[in-house]
């Protein structure tokens, strides 16, 4: 019943932008920390960004800091990732996640117990 569904992925040229969305259903995640992770071809899944329940605290991986912005709209039970200045190395499957006990700065996959199915992002050079 509880679901997180990502959308907004696709093919974009280097330097372009995409906005990913993660819609939740089945319960309210307003009190949960939410985050984005990604898995590139041939690599393990890695942390991208996280945001606390109110949106007052955020955490970004060094590889994307300054280019990506994480945000949330609790009224819509939705998480967003605005991706600008995209690079070929950003190509990956992007997953959204939620965890009640997850802390900003922890970056631990095991602390996120609700996950979406992933959305593909391909950046061409």
pLDDT in tens, the chain (125 residues): 899 999 999 999 999 999 999 999 999 999 999 999 999 999 999 999 999 999 999 999 999 999 999 999 999 999 999 999 999 999 999 999 999 999 999 999 999 999 999 999 999 99
Q: How far apart are CA 50 and CA 103, in angstroms?
A: 9
Specify the pLDDT at position 1: 85
Specify the pLDDT at position 64: 97
């Amino acid at each position: 019943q509880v679901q997180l569904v990502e959308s907004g992925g696709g093919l974009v040229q280097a330097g372009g932008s995409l906005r990913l969305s993660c819609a939740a259903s089945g319960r309210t995640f307003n009190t949960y920390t939410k985050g984005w992770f990604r898995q590139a071809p041939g690599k393990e899944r890695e942390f991208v960004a996280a945001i606390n329940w109110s949106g007052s605290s955020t955490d970004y991986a060094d590889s994307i800091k300054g280019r990506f912005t994480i945000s949330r709209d609790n009224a819509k039970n939705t998480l967003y990732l605005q991706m600008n200045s995209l690079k070929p190395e950003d190509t990956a499957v992007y997953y959204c996640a939620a965890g009640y006990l997850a802390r900003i700065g922890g970056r631990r996959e095991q602390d996120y117990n609700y996950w979406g199915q992933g959305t593909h992002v391909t950046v061409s050079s």
